[in-house]
Amino acid sequence: MRFKKVAFIVPPFDGQNQDNRGLYLGVGYISQYLIDNDIENKVIDTRFGYTVQDIKKKLADYKPDLVAVVVFTNEYQKTYDVVKAIKNKNYKIVLGGYHVSTIKSKILEETDADFAIKVEGEDAMLELCKGEPFEKILNLLYRKDGKIIENPTRPPVTDLDKFNFPRYESFEFEKYDHLIPICTSRGCPFLCTFCTVETTTGRQFRVRSPENVLAEIKMWYNKGYREFCFVDDNFTLLKERAIELCKLIKKSKLTGLKMRCAGIRADRVDREVLTYMRNVGFDQLGVGVEVGNDKMLKIIKKGETLAQIEKAIKEIVRLKFDLQLYFVIGNQYETKEDVEDSFKLALKYPISDAHFYNPLPFPGSELYNWVSKNGYFVEDFKTYINEHCNFSVKPVFATPELSVKERVRLLKKSKGVEKTILRRYIARKMEPSFKMFATPLSFIVMFSPMRWSINTFFKHPVGKLAIKTFIKMFKVDVHYL
C-alpha cells in the first residue's frame, strides 16, 4: 500500500455561493470508495471557516501520507495558494476536480503538487493509494525525472452501481445543511457552446439503476432524512428510468419526501413523467432555458425549440411545481433584442425564480474557443476566472452585437427581473393566508435589509427552525432569497 491515510481538502466557494453548506458529492464518492477498500480518510472543508493555519494544524494532528485537494476553476489561485502553504515533506499532494480536467498537465506546471487526477477520480485514486505503477494508472498526471507525465484518459465508467453511494463518514456531517445530494447519472450528450462537459464528465451518458438510487434514498430515509436534491445534468433524459424510480419510491411507501431537481431539459419531460415525479414528492424543478428565442437556441446548439420549452414550462407550472429557469446573457451573436426576449420569457409564467448568468468562457468550451479566435476578451483568463463569477455584472468579453457598456446594462437589468419574479412568487404563496396584504408584504420581504436579516437569521440554529416553520406554513421557500 503506497498511501494508507488520506486527507481531502475542499476549498471555499467564494463568489459562487459563499453560504453554501451542502455536502460535496464528488469528494463523498471518492472518500467512500477508499473506505470500502480499507483506506482511512478525513475531509477538511474550508467552507466552515478554516484558515490555512487551521488546515496545517489539522494535517499535523491527522498525519496523512496523502493530501487530496479539490480545485475549482473559479478562483483557482486561492487553492493554489493553499497548496503552496501546506506543502510538506511528510506527505504527497494530489489535485483533482474540474480544473484538472480542464487544463490537465498545466496544473502541475502551476503548482508544487506531486500528482493530479483528471476526469473521474475513483479508480485512479484507489490505484494511486494501492501502489500501482504510476505509468499504468489511467487519468493520472505525475512528475518523473523533472518532467510532467500525463497518462491516457480512462474510458468512462459505465457501471455506476459499482460505486457505493456516499455515507459521509469522513465528513463533519452535522455541520452541513442536511439536504442530501443525489446524482443518478454522469455525462451529457448535448453540445451547448458554453459547456465544458466534453472535457469533464464526458458526452457519454451513463446511469445508475433505479434500484440502486432507491437504496440510497431508503438509507437516508431510515435515518430520518426527507429532503433530497438530485444534481444530475439530465435527470429525465431517459424518461422511463425516471418513471421507474418514481414507481419504486411509491411502492416502498416513502412518504413525506421533499425533492428538488435542477437538471431538467424541456424536451425530455411531458405530463406523464412530471405527474409521477410530483406524486412521489418532487416539488422544485430547474430548467436550463439559456436564451429566449429560436435563433439563439440554434446558435448555442441547445437542441431544443422555444415551443418545446414553453410547453414544458406550462406543464410544470400546471402541476404546481416551484420552477427555476436558468439563462445565459451575452452568447455568440446575441443582440440586446435577443436578451430582451429572455427577460420576456422569464416574466411570462408564474415561476418561482430565475437566474441570469454572466458567461465566463471556460477552456474546453466552444464559446471559449470562439471568443479567443475573434479576440473578444476584455479580461485575461487568470483575471476573470479568479476575480469574477457568473453572478457578477462585469463582462469578460464583448462582441460587435453587445458592447461592454451594453452588457453591463443588461446584466444589471437582469437582477431587477430576478427580483420581480421572486417577489411575485412570494406574493402568490402568501396570498391564501394574507389575502389583499400578500403583495405589500412581498415588497417588504424583498426589501434588501429584510433579505439580509432572513439570510443572517437562517444561519442560526433557532433561525433555521423558524424558517422551516415559515416554509411549512406559507409554502414559501426562502432559500430563494
Which phi-psi region, left, alpha or beta, contains residue 159 (left: φ > 0; alpha: ψ -120 to 50)?
Answer: beta
Query: 287 near 312, Cβ under 8 Å?
Result: yes
Mean pLDDT over each residue of the chain, to the nearest integer: 92
> What integer pLDDT is reported at residue 448 of this predicted model?
61
Which cell goes with 47?
467552507
3-class secondary structure, 287: strand
For residue 449, the model assigns a pLDDT of 61
How confident is the model at residue 385, as a pLDDT?
86
Radius of gyration for the alpha carbons in the chain, expressed in angstroms and rounded: 23
Name which residue leads in pLDDT, 92 or 456.
92
Q: Is pLDDT at 324 greater than 70 in this prediction?
A: yes
Express each pLDDT in 446-462 by its tens digit.
Answer: 766 656 665 565 555 55
Per-residue pLDDT at 479: 52
Taking residues 331-345, report their average pLDDT: 98
| CA–CA dist 61, 57 (Å, integer) | 6
User: What average pLDDT does this structure show over 15-40?
Assistant: 85
Confidence band of 17 (pLDDT split at 50, 70, 90): very low
CB burial string 37-67: b at 16+ within 10 A, e below = eebebbbbbbbeebeeeebeeebeebebebb
Task: Give me the pLDDT at residue 12, please.
Answer: 80
pLDDT exceeds 90 at position 103 = yes
Structure confidence at residue 16 as a pLDDT band (50, 70, 90): very low
pLDDT per residue over 134-162, tens digit each?
999 999 999 999 999 999 999 999 999 99
What phi and psi values does residue 282 have, to the nearest 5 degrees?
Answer: -70, 125
| pTM across the whole model | 0.91
Our CA angle for 194, 199, 204, nearest 5°, is 100
In degrees rounded to 5, what are phi and psi of residue 171? -95, 160
Instruction: In whole angstroms, give the CA distance from residue 221 to residue 472.
Output: 19
Q: What is the pLDDT of residue 371?
A: 97
Percent of the chain with pLDDT over 70: 91
- CA 215/CA 234 separation, integer angstroms: 20
Q: What Å distances lie between residue 208 and 50, 145, 164, 213, 362, CA to CA? A: 35, 41, 11, 7, 28
**Per-residue pLDDT at 465 exceeds 80:** no
For residue range 212-266, list pLDDT tens digits in order. Answer: 999 999 999 999 999 999 999 999 999 999 999 999 999 999 999 999 999 999 9
pLDDT in tens, 170-226: 999 999 988 999 999 999 999 999 999 988 899 999 999 999 999 999 999 999 999
68 pLDDT tier (thresholds 50, 70, 90): very high
242-251, 344-353, 422-431: which has the minimum mean pLDDT?
Answer: 422-431
DSSP single-letter state for residue 216: H
Q: Using 50, 70 and 90 to split pLDDT, how confident is the model at 443?
A: confident
Task: Compute the Cα dihedral for 236, 237, 240, 244 and give only its sign.
Answer: negative
Q: Which domains are delineated in the chain? A: 5-150 (3.40.50.280), 178-402 (3.20.20.70)
20 has a pLDDT exceeding 80: no
